[in-house]
Chain A
Amino acid sequence: MKAKKLLLISLIVFSVTLFFGSVDLGGSVEFNLNYKFPEEEDSNFYNNFNKADLYFKFFGEGLRGEFNLNKASDDKLWVSSSEFTFNLNNVDLTTYWNRKSVSTDDWLKIVNNEKVGAVNGVKVYSNLDNFGKLNFYAVDRNGYLFNLLHYRFADLAGINASVLYLKDYKDMNTRSYNELMGFDFDIGTFDAFKPYGEVVVSFQQDIYTASYDVTDNYLLFGGVRGKVGDFSYNFNTTYIADDFNKDYSPDSLEENIFLETAYKNVRLTNKLELDFGEDNYIDRLRTNLYINNFELYVSPDFDGSFSDFNLDGSEMSVTYSHDLSIPFFTWYKISLYKQGPEDDWTDIRHYKPFRIYLEGNYKALGFSGNMKYIFGNPVSDEFFQAFGELYYIDISRNFNQFSVMGKLQYIQGIVEKRFTAYAEVGYNLPNGNIKFYVGDGDFENTLQFERQIGVTTTFYF
């Protein structure tokens, strides 16, 4: 019975492909089926097909779209997300279903699609040539109406500016809502001196008590950049008042003072991370110096002020990479990282964080690939947060219509060993490709070999 449903999924893929192939549309259908070998004996064959995803994209005159179909636990196929765009002269109308697609392109990218999250609704985009560009969203966010208007004026004598307005209802009973109002500009008239900046105010209120007082609910960003001969510079400051609503913004949006200078192939960036206030709280300075393929990173840690310099929390790294024209090796990179000094340099086991990183690309007999070695504590902040060594190699080659790729990773910790591998074979067809794979290729998240196999087919029409 359940095997029939798999057959049904395949039939749907096939018929959808045929249908869109017969009308005047282009596009692609990608279908993935994954089988995980069970650890428990009582699980049945069908349920180990833990993934059956269909990605469908198409484009034709005045229309493009994409949607995903997934197999749910009740064996029903459901559309997990979709996006369709209709082009009408100077206007694009886009519909969203469960898509993370609301964002703005102002200096600070103040509205971020990850923070807004998945929404259902529509967007109108209009390119009015001499009258600028307009983006307008009307979507359902967590069950409430969310509107965003971002209008970018047409360029005038090198001056570019935009305004944005966001209104997000939180509760229809009390009519409470959040608002953002922003303005950004870029004056590019003179190469040597280009001022730019942004002002945003936020309000969290309801219609009965609405007021537009600006006290501690604003953000200021501004600076100047320019170029004189081989020398260029860029300086800016971000100030965020205490009550400014950062709910829609990337959290990389933080108060700082930034200065970048460059002369020919030497570039120096300095970012001072701090909290402005009556007593400014100085957190950390991050300085990067780039000279050709060499990079030096120095980051002194300050616990509040320059006089509270904390050497133990300070960081430093040097990185060098280089192309090679010798047999076998084509490129290498070496990087050394250390946090703070040690009281006892002879006892590496109790060092504060440190890392030695080596990487190389190779090419031989038609094969090519990448190798890595890391020794450190931790090996990685993200995927192996402990003392150890990591060895990694991948290899790939194309033979006519076939492509093969394999990779291995071994991590040796204090008393643990982690080994994983992944391999895939692809075959290119005139209008698509088919790929078989073994294992999980995401080594950062699966440190141990995953007993699974799968097939992914992609057809273009």
Chain B
Amino acid sequence: MNILDITLDPGIYLGYSKNKNVPDLEDQLTYDESLGLYKITINASDLTYSEIDEEGVKYYFSYYKIFHVKDDGNVVSSSIPIWKDIVEANNIQTITIYADTNKMKDGKAIGVGDDTKLLQDWYFAGDWGDKTWDDNAVKFQPNEDDVLVAKIQKNFSVGDTILYKIKPTGNWRPWSMIFNAEIYSREASNAVYTLKSDTNELTVYFDPKISYVWFVESEVN
């Protein structure tokens, strides 16, 4: 069943406020070989924002999603917010949205993101230590590939688990930007990482261009 008989030919499409979330041929992403990603660049002035009230605090977001239409089952990302404050504070004219179709999962933000998310802070918050959800959360630092990196020094044993989320500010606001390694949402459950080895340094990588998180365990003397 298709709503209003809307059908799309196979391809990768962007649904956002300009096309009223209903993409057309001109909203297709194209493949960038140097990056190994699909991408599309849009004008920031084409975005309209919705007001979200987070218990008395108002924030403005413009949501988009990526439709990967294919013959063996469509994959559609969850809605991903662009935060108006970041667009305005950086005087952004154009925004590039990326998709990695190998990583995309139906109903999740994984594999889809945009370059405005490189212009804001992100913190790795979790339960590995004292106040590490709040004051002692680790702020991500960018590396030369625009991937964000956070390191945790602690003696972990194989099988230990960390519950975590990635938050946009020290005080978690805006809640709608909190990323749990799957979706951007104000109330999604915590992500879980299970240690594969005994290690004393855990490095967390977060690529906000494609909303993708991975871990590297290492033993440092």
Contact = CB atoms under 8 A, between A and B. Distances in A.
B3 A251 contact: no
Main secondary structure of the interface of B (DSSP, over half): loop
A48 B8 CA distance: 39
Contact of B135 (A142, A378, A414): A142
Given A385-B50, A386-B63, A412 B19 contact: no
B2 A47 contact: no
A454 B186 CA distance: 22
B189 interface: yes
A446 B15 CA distance: 21
B93 interface: no
Contacts, number: 114
Interface in A104-138: 112, 114-115, 117
B89 interface: no
Contact of B74 (A73, A251, A378, A416): A416
B57 A251 contact: yes
Interface stretch (A61-69, A190-198, A343-351): A343-351
A314 to B, nearest CB: 13
B69 interface: yes
Interface residues of A, number: 44
B152 interface: no
Interface in B98-146: 106-107, 127-128, 135
Interface in A330-363: 348-352
Nearest to A442: B187
Interface string A433-458: 00000000010111110000000000
Contacts of B22: 349-350, 377, 387, 414
A112 B6 contact: no
Interface stretch (B29-37, B38-46, B154-162, B204-212): B154-162
Given A386-B63, A387-B20, A412 B1 contact: yes
Contacts of A209: none
Nearest to B135: A142
A251 B54 CA distance: 9
Contact of B107 (A42, A143, A448): A448
Nearest to A386: B21
Given A73-B163, A252-B56, A50 B3 contact: no
A391 to B, nearest CB: 12
Interface of A: 42-44, 47, 50, 72-74, 112, 114-115, 117, 142-143, 250-252, 348-352, 377-378, 381-382, 384-389, 412-416, 418, 442, 444-448
- 4 closest A-B pairs by CB: A250-B56, A416-B76, A385-B63, A251-B57
